[in-house]
C-alpha cells in the first residue's frame, strides 16, 4: 500500500471527492486529532522560520548603525517621509557639498530599503500568524440534516408505494431537495390525516347503520335519549356475559329495554331518575357498559334514520375519493422527482461520510487514503488530469506508510479458495505484514473434517445440499451468504466422500476400504484403531511444525530476529517440539511406516538419547532469550514451561480426529448388528434414525471441532489477525 495525501481548496472539495469516489480504489484514512496536531505543528514551524528571518533583518539594521550611520540617523527623523528627511538634513547642514549629498542620498535609500523590507516582513508575519491553521475535523451537522432528509424520503417512498430508479448525475440542489421533501411531506401528512379522519368517521356511521338494521327487527322508532325534567335516558352496549348481573344490580334504580344483537352483545335503552344516575353509571362502568351517542342525532323513525345515515356515508365516500385523487396526484408528482432526489441523497451522504474522515481549515481540505501499489500510476494520471481541471488548486503526493502505521490489507487468493476467506475473517483479518492463512486454513479444515466424518454417502448428500445453497437457494444460511456457505459445504462433502472411500463407509454401511490393511468392520480390530490414532497425532504434529515455521517467517518479516530464533514459536520451539516428539516415540516405541520405519522402545533410556538432548537444546534457547532481549528472566522460564505443556496438550488435542472417526465407524457397526438381529429395527433405528443423526448433529459437531483445531491449535502459533480489510471508497 501507498499513502495518498490530497490537499485542495474548500471550493473544489466536492469535485475532488467525487472524482476519488469514481476511481473506486482509494481506502479513505480517518484523520483525527493527532493528525491535526502534527500538521498544525508544521504550520507553526513555518511561522517560526519567518520570525527568524525578521530578526536577521533587525541585525542587519544594527550592522548599518555600527558602520557609521549613527550620526546620520540622529539627524534624520526615520518616522517621517523621505522628502521630510531631506528637508531636515539640509536645514541643519546649511547646504552640503555634492559629494555629501550623494552619500546622504545613498544612506537614505539604504535605510528606506531596510525599513520597507521590515514593514513587509511584519505584514507577512501577521498574515501568517492569523491563519495558523489548526486543522479540525468536519462537523457532522450536515450529515444529520441529510439523514433527516433521507428518512423523510424513505417514508414518502414507502407510504406512497413508489418504485424509484436512480437518475444519473443529479442536477438538483440541496435547497430544492429540502423544499420539495418538506412540501410533499406536509401535503402527504395533511392528506393522510384527513383520510384517517374520514375513514374513522365512516366506520362509526357504518356501525350505526348495522345497529339500525338490527334494531329494525324489534322497534319502529329509536329510543329518545337525553336529559329531561326528572329523567335521564341513555343507550349503549353490554356483553352478554354481564347482562344477568346488570339486571340484578339495576332493577331497583332504572328501567331498561334490551335487544340481543347478532354479535352477542346487548343493546340497552336505560331510563332512570336523575338522583340515581350517578349510581347507575358507576354500576354500568363496572360491567363494561359502553355508551352509544350516535343515535341521538338521528330522526326517531328508523326509515328516516336509515336515509340520513346512507347520505352521510355517500358524502364520506365522495370526500375519500377526493383525498385519494389528491394522493395519487401527489404520488405522480413525487415519482417524477424521486429518482433525482434519491441520487442526490445517496451521493451527498457518501460525500458527507467521506468528509468526516478528513481535516479542514478555513480555506483548504486535507484528504488521506491508501492505494494499492499496482494502482498508484492509474490514480496519479487521473489526479494530474483533475489538477488541470481545477486550475492547479490541487496538491497530492504518495508516500510509504510510517513506522507502526496501520495499513489496510488486500488479500488475493485463487478463486477456488476465496470461499474460505470468511473462516479466516472470523478469527481476524490479516495484518499488512502477516501471512494470509486462507489457503492453508481451507485445506486443513476440510481435511480434518473428512477424517472425522468419513462416509461416501453422507459426503455426496452434503455436496448436493451445498450445490442447492450455492446455486439454487437465494436466502441466508446459518447467518451466512447462502452461495458462500454452499460452496464450503461442497468442499466438506468432497473431503468426507474421499475419506469415506478410503475407510469403506457408505451411509453407515461398510464396504472394502481402499486403505491397505483395513477391512470392513475395522473398528473391531484394536490395531486399526491404534493406527488411526497415530495418523491423527502425526497429522497434528505436522500442522504444529508448519505453524511454527510460518511464525518464524512472520517474525523475520517484522524484524524480530531474536523472537524468530529463540521464541516459543520460533526455531527454538521447532527444535524442542521435534525433540519432545522423538523422545516420546523412543520411550514407547512406535511404527511410523509399517515395514519401513519403526522407532524401537528405549523406555527410560530415551532420556539419554539424542532427541532428548535436542529438546533440551531448544528449551535452553528459550530460557536464554530474556537475557538477550533484556526482558525479565522469569519470562523465559514461564515461556519454556508454557511451551512444554502446550506441546503435550496441542499434540494430544489432535487425537479427537481419530475419536470422531471411531464414533462414526461405531454407528456403522451398530447398523450392521441391528440388521443381523432384526431387519425392521435395522432399517428404522439403524438406517433411518442414525443416518439422520449423523447428517445433522454429528455433521455440525465435526465442523465445529475441525474449526476448533484450526483456530486454537494452528492459527494461534503464528497468526494474530489484527488487521483490517482494504475497502475502497466508491461513489
Q: Per residue in 507-561, pLDDT tens?
A: 999 999 998 878 888 888 888 899 899 999 999 999 999 999 999 999 998 889 9
Residue 319: inside a domain: no
CA 441 distance to own-chain centroid: 24
701 lies in the same domain as 632: no
pLDDT higher at 160 or 87: 160
Range 529-553 burial, b when 16+ CB lie within 10 A, else e? bebbbebbbebbbebbbebbbbbbe
Q: Clarify whether residues 37 and 25 are in a common domain.
A: no
- pLDDT tens readout for residues 342-366: 999 988 888 888 888 888 877 788 8
**Averaged over 655-674, what is the pLDDT?**
92
Q: Please say if the pLDDT value at position 438 is more than 70.
A: yes
| Residue 329 domain-assigned (yes or no) | no
Instruction: Answer yes or no: is 224 within a domain.
Output: no
Give the tens place of pLDDT for each residue, 399-412.
998 887 889 998 88
Same-domain status, 626 and 689: no
Are residues 419 and 381 located together in one domain of the fold? Answer: no
Q: Does residue 430 contact residue 723 with C-beta atoms inside 8 Å?
A: yes
Q: Residue holding cell 341521538?
A: 296
Q: Are residues 6 and 45 in the same domain?
A: no
CATH number assigned to the domain comprising residue 367:
3.30.70.120
Alpha-carbon distance 633 to 615, whole Å?
20
Chain centre distance of CA 125 = 48
Residue 1 lies in a domain: yes
Would you state the pLDDT for residue 69? 47
How far apart, in whole angstroms, are the C-alpha atoms of residue 570 and residue 548? 6
The answer, yes or no, to whether residue 115 has pLDDT greater than 80, is no
Identify the weakest region by mean pLDDT among 44-48, 188-192, 521-525, 598-602.
44-48
**If DSSP codes are grouped into helix, strand and coil, which group holds residue 661?**
helix
Count of domains observed in the chain: 4
Among 265-274, 287-296, 426-435, the minimum mean pLDDT is found in: 287-296
User: Residue 634's pLDDT is what?
Assistant: 66
pLDDT, residue 633, reads: 61
CA 201 to CA 316: how far, in whole Å? 8
Using the predicted structure, report yes or no on whether residue 36 has a pLDDT greater than 60: yes
d(CA 454, CA 560): 42
- Interval 652-665 mean pLDDT: 94
- Joined together, the cell numbers standing for residue 148 give 433527516
Q: Which tens digits make up the pLDDT trace of 443-462? A: 999 999 999 999 999 999 99
Three cell numbers at 63? 550592522
What DSSP line would sit under 443-489, residue for residue?
HHHHHHHHHHS--HHHHHHHHHHHHHHHHT--SEETTEEHHHHHHHH
Burial readout 468-506 (b: 16 or more C-beta within 10 A, e: otherwise): ebbeeeeeebeeeebebbbbbbbbbbbbbbbbbbbbbbb
Residue of higher predicted confidence among 405 and 398 = 398
Angstrom distance (rounded) from CA 177 to CA 337: 9
Q: Are residues 440 and 495 in the same domain?
A: yes
Mean pLDDT estimate for the chain: 84
In this structure, is residue 229 part of a structural domain?
no
Alpha-helix runs per DSSP H in 70-97: 70-75, 82-93
Q: What is the pLDDT of residue 113?
A: 72
Question: What mean pLDDT is predicted for residues 203-212?
Answer: 88
Shared domain for 683 and 646, answered yes or no, is no
Is 10 part of a structural domain of the chain? Answer: yes
pLDDT classification of 4: cutoffs 50, 70, 90? very high
Residues 503 and 417 in one domain: yes
Query: Is 327 within a domain?
Result: no
* Whether 622 and 676 share a structural domain: no
Percentage of the chain lying above the pLDDT 70 cut: 85
**pLDDT tens for residues 53-108?**
556 656 665 665 555 444 444 444 444 444 444 455 445 444 445 555 666 667 66
Q: In which domain, by residue range, is 609 found? A: 560-653
Q: Indicate whether 182 belongs to any domain.
A: no
At 30 the pLDDT is 86
Q: In this model, does residue 269 exceed pLDDT 60?
A: yes
**Per-residue pLDDT, 287:** 84
Chosen domain end from 342, 374, 408 = 408
- For residue 122, report the phi and psi dihedrals to the nearest 5 degrees: -60, -45
Quick one: pLDDT at residue 45?
Answer: 56
Same domain, 567 and 640: yes
pLDDT of residue 98: 54
> Span 574-580, mean pLDDT?
93
Tell which of 378, 408, 438 closes a domain.
Answer: 408
pLDDT at 300: 86
- 399 plus 442 within the same structural domain: no
Q: How confident is the model at residue 398 (pLDDT cuts 50, 70, 90)?
A: very high
One domain, residues 26 and 36:
no
Q: Please say if the pLDDT value at position 389 is more than 80.
A: yes
Region 243-254: mean pLDDT is 80
129/126 Cα distance (integer angstroms): 5
CA angle, 456 then 539 then 712, to 5°: 100
122 pLDDT band, cuts 50/70/90, is: low
What does the pLDDT look like over 698-711, one tens digit per residue? 999 999 999 999 99
pLDDT in tens, 622-648: 888 888 877 766 666 676 777 778 888
Whether the per-residue pLDDT at 316 is higher than 80: the answer is: yes
**Domain termination residue (choose one: 116, 134, 152):** 134
Amino acid at each position: 500500500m501507498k499513502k495518498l495525501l490530497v490537499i485542495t481548496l474548500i471550493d473544489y472539495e466536492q469535485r475532488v471527492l467525487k472524482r476519488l469516489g469514481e476511481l473506486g480504489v482509494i481506502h479513505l484514512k480517518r484523520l483525527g486529532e493527532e493528525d491535526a496536531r502534527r500538521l498544525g505543528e508544521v504550520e507553526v514551524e513555518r511561522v517560526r522560520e519567518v520570525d527568524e528571518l525578521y530578526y536577521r533583518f533587525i541585525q542587519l539594521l544594527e550592522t548599518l548603525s555600527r558602520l557609521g550611520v549613527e550620526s546620520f540617523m540622529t539627524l534624520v527623523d526615520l518616522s517621517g517621509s523621505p522628502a521630510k528627511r531631506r528637508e531636515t538634513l539640509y536645514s541643519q547642514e546649511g547646504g552640503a557639498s555634492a559629494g555629501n549629498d550623494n552619500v546622504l542620498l545613498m544612506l537614505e535609500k539604504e535605510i528606506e530599503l531596510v525599513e520597507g523590507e521590515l514593514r513587509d516582513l511584519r505584514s507577512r508575519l501577521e498574515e501568517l500568524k492569523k491563519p495558523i491553521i489548526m486543522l479540525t475535523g468536519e462537523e457532522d451537522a450536515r450529515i444529520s440534516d441529510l439523514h433527516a432528509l433521507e428518512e423523510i424520503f424513505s417514508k414518502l417512498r414507502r407510504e406512497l408505494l413508489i418504485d424509484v430508479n436512480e437518475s444519473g448525475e443529479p442536477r438538483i440542489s440541496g435547497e430544492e431537495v429540502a423544499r420539495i421533501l418538506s412540501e410533499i411531506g406536509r401535503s402527504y401528512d395533511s392528506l393522510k390525516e384527513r383520510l384517517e379522519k374520514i375513514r374513522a368517521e365512516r366506520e362509526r356511521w357504518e356501525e350505526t347503520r348495522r345497529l339500525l338494521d338490527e334494531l329494525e327487527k324489534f322497534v319502529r322508532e329509536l329510543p329518545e335519549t337525553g336529559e329531561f325534567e326528572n329523567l335521564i335516558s341513555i343507550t349503549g352496549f353490554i356483553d352478554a356475559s354481564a347482562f344477568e348481573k346488570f339486571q340484578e344490580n339495576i332493577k331497583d334504580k332504572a328501567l331498561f329495554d334490551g335487544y340481543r344483537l347478532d354479535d352477542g352483545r346487548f343493546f340497552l335503552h336505560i331510563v332512570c331518575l336523575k338522583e340515581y344516575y350517578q349510581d347507575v353509571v358507576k354500576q354500568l362502568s363496572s360491567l363494561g357498559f359502553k355508551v352509544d351517542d350516535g343515535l341521538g342525532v338521528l330522526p326517531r323513525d328508523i326509515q328516516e334514520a336509515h336515509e340520513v345515515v346512507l347520505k352521510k356515508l355517500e358524502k364520506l365516500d365522495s370526500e375519500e375519493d377526493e383525498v385519494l385523487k389528491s394522493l395519487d396526484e401527489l404520488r405522480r408528482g413525487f415519482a417524477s422527482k424521486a429518482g433525482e432526489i434519491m441520487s442526490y441523497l445517496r451521493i451527498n451522504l457518501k460525500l458527507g461520510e467521506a468528509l468526516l474522515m478528513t481535516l479542514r481549515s478555513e480555506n483548504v481540505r486535507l484528504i488521506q487514503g491508501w492505494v494499492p501499489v499496482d494502482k498508484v500510476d492509474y490514480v496519479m494520471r487521473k489526479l494530474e488530469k483533475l489538477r488541470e481541471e481545477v486550475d492547479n488548486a490541487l496538491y497530492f503526493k504518495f508516500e510509504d506508510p510510517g513506522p507502526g502505521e496501520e495499513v489496510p490489507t488486500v488479500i488475493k487468493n485463487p478463486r477456488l479458495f476465496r470461499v474460505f476467506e470468511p473462516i479466516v475473517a472470523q478469527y481476524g483479518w490479516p495484518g499488512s505484514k502477516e501471512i494470509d492463512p486462507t489457503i492453508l486454513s481451507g485445506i486443513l479444515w476440510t481435511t480434518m473434517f473428512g477424517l472425522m466424518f468419513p462416509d461416501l454417502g453422507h459426503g455426496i448428500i452434503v455436496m448436493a445440499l451445498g450445490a442447492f445453497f450455492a446455486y439454487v437457494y437465494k436466502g441466508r444460511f446459518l447467518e451466512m451468504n447462502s452461495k458462500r456457505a454452499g460452496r464450503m459445504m461442497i468442499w466438506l462433502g468432497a473431503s468426507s466422500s474421499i475419506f469415506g472411500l478410503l475407510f469403506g463407509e457408505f451411509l453407515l454401511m461398510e464396504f472394502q476400504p481402499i486403505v491397505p490393511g483395513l477391512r470392513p468392520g475395522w473398528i473391531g480390530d484394536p490395531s486399526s484403531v491404534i493406527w488411526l490414532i497415530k495418523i491423527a497425532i502425526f497429522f497434528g504434529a505436522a500442522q504444529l511444525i508448519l505453524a511454527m515455521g510460518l511464525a518464524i517467517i512472520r517474525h523475520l518479516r517484522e524484524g524480530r530476529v531474536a523472537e524468530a530464533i529463540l521464541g516459543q514459536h520460533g526455531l527454538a520451539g521447532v527444535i524442542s517440539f521435534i525433540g519432545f516428539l522423538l523422545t516420546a516415540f523412543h520411550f514407547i516405541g512406535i511404527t511410523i511406516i509399517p515395514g519401513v520405519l519403526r522407532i524401537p522402545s528405549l523406555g527410560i533410556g530415551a532420556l539419554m538419547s539424542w532427541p532428548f538432548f535436542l529438546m533440551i537444546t531448544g528449551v535452553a534457547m528459550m530460557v536464554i532469550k530474556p537475557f538477550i532481549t533484556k526482558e525479565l528472566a522469569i519470562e523465559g522460564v514461564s515461556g519454556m514451561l508454557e511451551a512444554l505443556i502446550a506441546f503435550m496438550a496441542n499434540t494430544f488435542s489432535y487425537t479427537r480426529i481419530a475419536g470422531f472417526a471411531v464414533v462414526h465407524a461405531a454407528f456403522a457397526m451398530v447398523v450392521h448388528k441391528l440388521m443381523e438381529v432384526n431387519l425392521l429395527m435395522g432399517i428404522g433405528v439403524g438406517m433411518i434414525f442414525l443416518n439422520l443423526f449423523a447428517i445433522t448433529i454429528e455433521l455440525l459437531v465435526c465442523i465445529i471441532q475441525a474449526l476448533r483445531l484450526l483456530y486454537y491449535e494452528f492459527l494461534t502459533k503464528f497468526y494474530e489477525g489484527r488487521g483490517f480489510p482494504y475497502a475502497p471508497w466508491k461513489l
